């Protein structure tokens, strides 16, 4: 039996001020799946994501990544296996050149020499940014910086790629280019987004997180076509967009 990339069971969490963000979250994601995490603001999406690599903890329930429980014993390996790409790429890019940014994580993990060079080259090729390796990140367009931010995570060869609002602030061409890149990757993808058409384009399956629980789990097109479900969880499609008329690409 294949071990899931990610398994969350009974996850509940309250912040120190008493605010309960998660009330018992359960789901599993198989290796190689692309899954969207949808939900209104305040649903608990960020809290959930921060549990996946141990940034948050101390609640109840379990999170398991590729068979390893998230906890102190396996933390270094977990943080290599779960790569998070933040909404703002400038939160991840801080070195003088693109090459140095992409090398930073693997180098910090102890890689050097030819293997480090291979990791950097491979990650940049996968996002189509190999010709920009010696450029300062702040000289790149926003879409290019987002692709480099993805490369910084891919250089760690993660099991799971978590993307926080990957389509935000992208022009149509950059949005399409990123979609093509994400479809080409041989990793498990969890995409946190309010961009419902992008979720439909990229993710055959979606989870709706609402009030700290998984309110729905199923094919993205079916969930987005359920008007009652969408209305109950404050999810709205762009004006004129009909998910029934769109075929998701795999």
Instruction: Please give the domain boundaries of the chain with CATH numbers for all domains.
Output: 6-245 (3.40.50.300)
Has residue 248 got a pLDDT over 90? no
Residues 6+ apart with CB under 8 A from 242: none
At 102-159, the pLDDT tens digits run: 999 999 999 999 999 999 999 999 999 999 999 999 999 999 999 999 999 999 999 9
Burial label for 168, CB within 10 Å (0-12, 13-18, 19+), is middle
Closest CA relative to residue 49, chosen from 149, 155, 193: 193
Rg for the chain, CA atoms, rounded: 18
- Mean pLDDT, rounded, of the chain: 95
DSSP state letter for 171: -
What is the reported pLDDT for 240? 86
Quick one: pLDDT band at residue 249, thresholds 50, 70, 90? low
Contact 134, 120 (CB under 8 A): no
In 54-94, the DSSP E strands lie at 60-65, 68-69, 82-85
pTM for this prediction: 0.94
What is the reported pLDDT for 244? 84
What is the reported pLDDT for 1? 65
């Amino acid at each position: 039996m294949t071990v899931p990339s990610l398994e969350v069971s009974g996850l509940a969490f309250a912040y120190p001020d008493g605010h309960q963000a998660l009330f018992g979250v359960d789901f599993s994601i198989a290796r190689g799946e692309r899954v969207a995490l949808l939900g209104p603001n305040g649903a608990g999406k960020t809290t959930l994501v921060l549990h996946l690599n141990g940034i948050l903890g101390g609640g109840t329930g379990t999170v398991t990544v590729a068979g390893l429980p998230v906890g102190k014993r396996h933390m270094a390996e977990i943080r290599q296996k779960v790569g998070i790409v933040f909404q703002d790429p400038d939160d991840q890019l801080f070195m003088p050149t693109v090459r140095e940014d992409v090398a930073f994580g693997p180098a910090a993990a102890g890689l050097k020499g030819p293997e480090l060079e291979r990791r950097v080259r491979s990650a940049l090729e996968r996002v189509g940014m190999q010709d920009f390796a010696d450029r300062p990140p702040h000289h790149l367009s926003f879409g290019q910086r987002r692709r480099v931010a993805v490369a910084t995570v891919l250089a760690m060869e993660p099991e799971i790629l978590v993307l926080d609002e990957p389509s935000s602030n992208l022009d149509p061409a950059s949005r399409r280019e990123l979609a093509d890149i994400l479809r080409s990757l041989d990793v498990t993808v969890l995409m946190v987004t309010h961009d419902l058409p992008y979720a439909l384009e990229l993710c055959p399956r979606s989870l709706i997180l609402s009030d700290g629980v998984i309110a729905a789990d199923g094919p993205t097109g079916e969930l987005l076509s359920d008007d009652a479900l969408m209305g109950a969880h404050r999810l709205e499609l762009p004006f004129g967009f009909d998910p029934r008329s769109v075929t998701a690409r795999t």
